[in-house]
Amino acid sequence: MMKFNNKKSMVGQKILSGVGYGSMGCSIPYAIGACYAAENKKQIISFSGDGGFQMNMQELMLIADKNLNIKIIIFNNNGLGLIRESQDRYMNSRYFGTNEKYVKCPQMDILSKAYGLSYVKIKKIEDCKTIKDLFNDNKSCIIEVIVDSSQRMYKLFCYNIIRIKFIII
């Protein structure tokens, strides 16, 4: 779960969000639906955590096959970060199923290549310069953003935020 501080929609943009639905994994299906609703004439940006992405990564086949203009941004912390935060807060940091011992994120570069999608990995802020060209074309791509697994988001948590599971049209 993340929030975009002071995010204002520009003219012609819409934000679709799964806030309040407990909808881990909904970003890619939302993106596909939004793309079809826009008749594939608008660029769709899907934001997902690594765990949510894995719930519907099979949809990459449809995205690639139909040449949908969807940019998929995956925040990879290798371990279901939001669930891990709940374990911190409510279970005295007793972790189960939320670290690299139990959760492995696939190699996104290989997965992207398998579906014929462009791929960029961002490990540090300087790497962001490499993605500009990806947003200037109509092709689908995966942008993997590596996030430190110790980074906690619960300070950002409240019911009035836009969660990571949203799409900007």
- pLDDT one digit per residue (tens) for the chain, 169 residues: 444 444 556 667 676 666 555 568 888 999 999 999 999 899 999 988 888 899 999 999 999 999 999 999 998 888 787 788 788 888 898 888 887 777 788 999 999 999 999 999 999 888 888 888 888 889 999 999 998 877 766 544 433 333 333 444 3
CATH at residue 89 = 3.40.50.970
This model's pTM is above 0.95: no
Any domain includes 134: yes
Inside any domain, residue 126? yes
Q: Where are the beta strands (DSSP E) in the chain?
A: 15-17, 44-49, 70-76, 118-122, 141-146, 166-168
64 lies in some domain: yes
Q: Domain count for the chain, please give it.
A: 1
Neighbour count for residue 96 (Cβ, 10 Å): 11
What is the residue range of 108's domain? 25-168
Provide the CB-side half-sphere exposure for 142 (13 A, CA).
30
Q: Is 48 contained in some domain?
A: yes
- Domain contains 15: no
